[in-house]
Structure formats: C-alpha cells, structure tokens
Amino acid sequence: MTGTVPAATVTSREEVCPEETPPGPCAVVILGASGDLTARKLVPALFEVHRRGALPRRFCVLGCGRTEMNDETFRQKVRPRQVTDPGAWERFSDLLYYVPLSYDDPTSYVAMAQRLLQLDALHGTSGNRLFYLAVPPTLYKTAARMLGESSLGKEGPGGSEPWTRLVVEKPFGRDLDSAVDLNRSIHRHFRERQIFRIDHYLAKETVQNILVFRFANAIFEPLWNRRYVDHVRITAAETLGVEHRAGYYEQAGVLRDMFQNHMMQLLALTAMEPPCRFEADPVRDEKVKVYRALRPFPVEALRDHLVLGQYGEGRVGGKPAAAYREEPGVDRNSLTPTFASMKIQLDNWRWQGVPFHLTSGKRLREKRTEIVIHFREVPYSMFRTTLGDSILPNRLTLGIYPEERIFLTFQTKSPGPRLCLREVTMDFHYIEGEDARVMDAYEKVLLDCMLGDPMLFWRQDGVEQCWKFLTPILEECEACRDRADMLKTYPAGSWGPREAVQWGPGALEKPRDGKES
Ligand code: BG6
C-alpha cells in the first residue's frame, strides 16, 4: 500500500517554503586548503551554492595551507574533475585566492590578515570572516590561538559586524578531559556564539525532517513514549571500509568516529521533548536534556550492553574485501573496533524502560541509515486461535539514507476467503513530488555558518555531556584485560558479529531485498 496525496490537498511549495535569502557579504578563510576536505567537499559545495546564486553577492574564498601555491595553482588544484558548466566554474574560481600559512608562525597570520584586507577592498566583504578549520584536529588549538593572538578572531561590539566565526570539524576531543580542554582553549579567543561545531548528519535533509515529522504532526506525538513504544533501533550501517583514513581511524574507532557525534544526534532528535520555539538554543537545550538523561553505562557488565567488532576478510557488493588489519596503515594486531552495537536507557518519564539500540559499523552488507520505532504488541490478540502468536507489532521507519523515506508497517487482512494477515506499509518518499534537489550537507552547513544560524551545530554543553557518557565506556573498553576477546571479528559484507545479531540489540532489520546474509 502506498500513500499518495490527492493533488488538491498539496499546498504549493511557495506557500510553505520561503525563498532562500543569500547571506550578507563575507570572506570564507579555509585553513588546511591544500588538504583533501577542501577539494572533496568544501569547494564543490561552495561552487554549487554559487551556481545557484545563493552565495553572498560580495564574497571570496581565501585558502591557506602549508603547501606553497599561488592563486592560480590553488584554483587548478581544487577544480572538480567533472565540471558540467565550465563558464560557471570560471566565474566562481575568480573568487578563490591562496596564501601559504605556517600554522604556528605569527608572521604567517600577519600575511593572512594583510591579504584579507586587500580582498575586503576588492570584493567588498566588509571584514566579515568565516574561518574554517580544515586542518588535522591536533592543530585546532594552535590555529584558534594564533587567529586570536593576531586579532583575526575579533568581532564587532556585542557580536555586531564585522563578524568572525570559527568552524570546527569533529572530532571535538577524544574524551571528556580533552574536549573540555579544547573548548577552554578555543574560548580564550572566541565566544561560544562564534563557534560552529559541524556534524554533517544534522545537515542531511532527512535528519532535519525528524523534528518536522514529530512536531508538525499531531498524530504521532501521543504514541511517542513508553506507553506505546517497545524499543527503538538507530542504525548507521556502511559498506565502506576505513579507506585511506587509517591514521585517524586507528586512534578513533567506531565509538569516537560515529557514536560521540552522529549517533548521539540521531538519538537526541528521536527522544527529545518539543522545544518551546524552533530556534537554535531552545532546540539545543532539549537535546542536552536527552544527554543528561542517559543512564550511566554499567561498565562492570559491559558485555550485556555493548558488542564491539572488527571486520575480517569478506565480500562486499560481490567484490572481495580485505580485513581491517590488512588495510593500508592499519596495525596488523589492531584492536580498534569498526562495529559497535549498544543498548542505551534514558532515565526520564517519556522513555523509562524503553531500550534504544544504537548500531554502527563499517564494511557491513548494506549502506543504510535509519531510525526504527518498534511499537508494542497488541495487548490481546483475538486472532490467536486462528493465527497463533505471529502478529508482528507496528514499526515506523525513518529512513535517512539511501532510502529517504518514512514508512509505517501494519497488519491487514489478505484478500480472499481465508483469514490471513499480511504486513503492508504506508510509504512517504522524501523527494517524491518535489522538483527540488536534496542539498548536499556541506552546502547547508556552509550557508548556515555564513547566515550565523547555529541550529544545526553542536553546542559545547552537548559535546561535553556526550563525552561524559562515552568516556567511561571507552576507558573500560580500552583498558580491560580481555580487550582482544571482547572484539568480535565479522566477515566484511555481513551484518556484523554473530554476537550482536543473536544478542538482539545489534540485530539489524531483515534486508529490504529479503535475502539473509
Ligand atoms: C563520518 C565518519 O563522520 O561519517 C566516517 O568519519 C563515516 O567514518 C561517515 O564513513 C558516514 O557519513 P555518511 O554521511 O556517509 O553516513
């Protein structure tokens, strides 16, 4: 069963969706501009926004990095491989500049400041600056300090123009102490309102839709609690392996890489109370309340609540895939987990007793990110005598990727003379009926930073609350004597360690193609 909306009831897009207003004048300053992130994500996103006419009319980009380059070589370096509209690229690349930067050398920042003054004069960017830290996390503190000490972090009185903002990518520390220390260092030179901590999951359309779905519809909220919900599964399964990121991943592992940030955001959006206003701080206040409600993990009984795994050799998408320990740059005896499944409880009125199962792993069978609300069973089945106990409870699936869809499963009678039940779904496909293209997460993130809207960014208290929850787990996992024994190997291309599947919390839903692995 597919739910289609009668044309007459669809409100036109203009009525509900105001036009995009381009941000005011500004320069985007990318520190780490010779790196991978700049060429792969930041420049393509800015180019696309420029092509759409959504960038400020007075705008430029200043790339900075250790590599010696001039404006022209920088433009060549970051030119996307496939440009469908070369004219548009020429117009955009005229706005790109470069200055070499040695991160801990004050004279470098003087040169950067001078270049920015010239660009302000040339492009009318009014001294408004967005500093994007696309550098390794070990350089965050140095870069923030040097920007601050060279007065580049200064903003107008009370946050007025000219504004300066600092964009920080995850990881925000590697445990509670380092996160507090990082925040403290950055705060010496930047106020919290100037700091934009990115989580690209928050910029995904389907993730933003969670709050709209929950709070712009009256029918789901009465069911969204312990009375009707049995358990919730939040899954971010990936088919990709560690790729070329072993240097980072070996230190991070799946708990730091996916749980401390993306999984916690998905949890908060699913579990939070309605904020009083749809504004950055009320929304972020409600998220923090969810993190405060996280029941401290019973580290003494870790195995009852957490399964960790690491991928072994296998096949993904029909192709052979190497074991994690065979990947370039990975220690042959590595104990870094690439899979985790944990059972979380929230101590509050709405969710008391409802387990949240959070699962994420690399080199799994499918790329699938979703939140599934499993409702309770019917309290009494009058069909038991004819059908036995086989009535499946309702499920509401919020598909984030690749299926950008929401669907509700429920039971109906199969047509025919006999009483047979069948499970059907009522479906909503996110982009169906829309001509709008789904905006790339980095486009949204960059635009929101330029607009100064922190709604989709982590606030310091949220980061620290999540570390407070995860740090004891990490410490226990990394220090325990049976660490190697805790780490279960799973074949690449499977649904994760057998322990997780049998144990329950990790059990992923049956694949949509119906085939078991
Ligand atoms: C990143 C992690 O933050 O998110 C990666 O560092 C992971 O390891 C990626 O692959 C997943 O993002 P997405 O958008 O593909 O689900």
79: Cα within 13 Å, side-chain hemisphere: 20
Q: What is the pLDDT of residues 305-336, one digit of tens each?
A: 999 999 999 999 899 999 999 999 999 999 99
Instruction: Using a cut of 0.75, tell me whether the model's pTM lies above it.
Output: yes
d(CA 40, CA 169): 15
Atom 5 in ligand 1: which residue has the minimum CA distance? 257
Asked whether residue 6 carries a pLDDT value surpassing 50, the answer given is no
For the chain, give the mean pLDDT. 90
Q: Is the CB of 366 under 6 A from ligand 1?
A: no
- 369 CB under 6 A from ligand 1? yes
Cα 262 to ligand 1 centre (Å): 8
Atom of ligand 1 nearest to the CA of 199: 3
Is 206 a pocket residue for ligand 1 (Cβ < 6 Å)?
Answer: no
Tell whether ligand 1 has an atom less than 6 A from the beta carbon of residue 257: yes
Q: Residue 85's closest CA among 58, 53, 125? A: 53
Q: What average pLDDT does the segment 409-418 reach?
A: 87
Q: What's the one-letter identity of residue 503?
A: W
Q: How far is ligand 1, taken at its centre, from the CA of residue 335, in Å? A: 20
Q: What is the mean pLDDT of residues 114-122?
A: 97
Active site residue 429: no
Which residue in the list 123, 189, 262, 374 is annotated as catalytic? 262
Of 328, 408, 349, 345, the residue nearest 375 (C-alpha): 408
Q: Which atom of ligand 1 is nearest to the CA of 238?
A: 10
List the single range of 65-69, 307-311, 420-424, 436-440 with lowest mean pLDDT.
436-440
Question: SS3 for 423-483, per residue?
Answer: EEEEEEECCCCCCCCCCCHHHHHHHHHHHCCHHHEECHHHHHHHHHHHHHHHHHHHHCCCH
- Give residue 257 CA to ligand 1 midpoint distance, Å: 8
238 ligand 1 Cβ < 6 A: yes
Choosing from 257, 367, 442 the residue with most ligand 1 atoms within 8 A of its CB, the one to mutate for a pocket test is: 257
Across 377-382, average pLDDT: 85
Return the pLDDT at 161. Answer: 85
- Which residue of 258, 324, 336, 400 sits with most ligand 1 atoms within 8 Å of its CB, as the best mutation to test the pocket? 258
Q: pLDDT tens, 354-377?
A: 999 999 999 999 999 999 999 999
Instruction: Name the H helices within 193-339.
Output: 205-215, 246-254, 264-271, 280-293
Residue 384's CB is within 10 A of a number of other CB atoms, namely 12
Identify the residue whose C-alpha is closest to ligand 1 atom 8: 257
Ligand 1 atom closest to the Cα of residue 170 is 3
Distance from the alpha carbon of residue 263 to the mean position of ligand 1, in angstroms:
11
Q: Angle between the 205-215 and 264-271 helix axes, to the nearest 10 degrees?
A: 20
Kindly give the distance from the C-alpha atom of residue 460 to the centroid of ligand 1, in angstroms, as a whole number: 21
**The pLDDT of residue 386:** 72
Ligand 1 center from residue 362 Cα (angstroms): 10
Q: Which atom of ligand 1 is nearest to the CA of 400?
A: 16
Q: How far is CA 22 from CA 56, 89, 347, 454, 458, in A?
A: 5, 19, 42, 16, 23
What digits encode the pLDDT tens for the residues 78-112? 999 888 899 999 999 999 999 999 999 999 999 99
- What is the pLDDT at residue 1? 43
Which position has the higher pLDDT, 12 or 397?
A: 397
Distant-in-sequence, close-in-space partners of 369: CB < 8 Å, separation ≥ 6: 235, 236, 237, 399, 400, 401
Q: Kindly state the tokens that stand for 83.
A: 């440009």
User: What sections of 329-425 are H helices per DSSP?
Assistant: 384-387
pLDDT at 42: 95
How many A from CA of 484 to the centre of ligand 1?
25
236: closest CA among 516, 513, 506, 517?
Answer: 506
* pLDDT score of 515: 41
Instruction: Give 28's strand partners.
Output: 61, 130
Q: Please, are residues 456 and 445 in contact by the beta-carbon 8 Å criterion?
A: yes
Q: Which amino acid is at 457?
A: F
Tell me the percentage of the chain whose pLDDT exceeds 70: 91
Query: At residue 12, does pLDDT exceed 80?
Result: no
Residue 123: count other Cβ atoms within 10 Å of its Cβ: 18
Q: What does the pLDDT read at residue 482? A: 84
* DSSP bridge pairs for 364: 494
Write the pLDDT tens digit of every residue in 190-238. Answer: 999 999 999 999 999 899 999 999 999 999 999 999 999 999 999 999 9
Which pLDDT does position 159 carry in this prediction?
73
Hey, what are 142's tokens?
């140095």
Whether 260 is in the pocket of ligand 1, judged by its Cβ within 6 Å, is: no
Backbone angles phi and psi of 286, in degrees to 5? -65, -35
- Reported as a pLDDT band with limits 50, 70 and 90, residue 164 is very high
Contact between residue 235 and residue 262 where contact means Cβ atoms under 8 Å apart: no
Q: Kindly give, in sequence order, each residue whose CB lies less than 8 Å from that of residue 98, ignoring residues fewer than 6 positions away.
A: 33, 62, 63, 64, 65, 69, 70, 71, 73, 74
**Cβ of 286 less than 6 Å from ligand 1:** no
What are the tokens at 267?
């949890």
Position 437 scores a pLDDT of: 66
3-state secondary structure at position 397: strand
Scanning the structure block, which residue is given the tokens 């908060």?
A: 268
